[in-house]
Amino acid sequence: MQIVVNGKKEEVGERTTVASLLKEKKIMMEMVAVELNGTVLPRSRYAETSLKEGDRVEFLYYMGGG
């Protein structure tokens, strides 16, 4: 199925979750915030949230420091 990740179309498997998408991209969940179809998703829901055709996923790394 096709989804949009950070503005770019991507083909992913039918059973892809937010957590598996991040894992596939070798991104540690602790480092990123994820938005799904315009709503920020709590990290606790990454594993249970399955992606659907046409979903728009945005992720970005936290920006901070001292």
Partner 1 sequence: MLRIREGCYQFMIQDAFRRFPNEACGILAGKDGLARTFFAMKNTDESPLSYLMDPKEQFHVMKHIREGNEEMLAIYHSHVASPAYPSSKDVQLAFYPDVYYVLISLQDRSRPVAKAYRIQEGHVREEPFKVIPEESR
Q: Is 29 in the site for partner 1 (CB under 8 A)?
A: no
Q: If you ran DSSP here, which 8-state letter would residue 13 be given?
A: -
With CB under 8 A as the contact rule, which of the stretches 9-17, 18-26, 45-53, 54-62 interacts with partner 1?
A: 54-62
Name which position in 5, 19, 29, 33 contacts partner 1 (CB under 8 A): 33
Tokens of 31: 């480092």
Tokens of 63: 């920006």
| Three-state secondary-structure class, residue 51 | coil
**Residue numbers at the binding site for partner 1 (CB under 8 A):** 6-7, 31, 33, 35, 40, 58, 60-66
